[in-house]
Amino acid sequence: MTAATFAAVFVALYVGHTVGDHWVQTHHQACAKGGPGWAGRLACGRHVATLTLTKAVVLVPVVLVLGLEVGLLGLVLGLGVDAVSHYWADRRSTLKRLADVCGKREFYELGTPDHAAHPVTATGAPAATLGTGAYALDQSWHMLWLLAAALLIAAV
């Protein structure tokens, strides 16, 4: 494994992640993936499948054009670990429980009406925000696992 291979793989996975999580994910998947029962599980599964495919579509040309030495086992393990961790977090209740355990509940609720100091409009209604604590924790969780995936892909 070289540092350059790891760096190139991580950048490709990061780009694939942002495209897949924001452009490829459907509105239905985004709204339903944290829901209860099989409907929520299936919506999350479809999101993770299209997200993983997007990461692979971005990664393959990077590997080919740069002549990176990555093995099939590393690709399967890396993308697999990333997919499982993404599914786990995107079911929402799991990440919320982790935030609670880590003492991050107030930050998790930041930017939502559940937060004690949530922003309001002049009429007192909840005001829209550009982001939430839940989104920031979600994305940082995904970045951690993208790092693990890049290490597996580059090293195995």
pLDDT of 108 reads: 87
Q: What is the mean pLDDT of residues 6-32?
A: 97
Better pLDDT: 69 or 106:
69
pLDDT of 16 reads: 98
Using CA atoms, how far residue 130 sits from 50, 59, 91, 110, 136, in Å, is 25, 29, 22, 11, 11
Find all residues with CB under 8 Å of 73, minimum gap 6, and list them: 156
At residue 129, does pLDDT exceed 70?
A: no
Lowest mean pLDDT, pick from 1-5, 34-38, 39-43: 1-5
pLDDT of 1 reads: 65
In the numeric block, the tokens 């786990």 are attached to 88
Convert the pLDDT of each residue in 77-88 to its tens digit.
999 999 999 999
pLDDT of 54 reads: 98
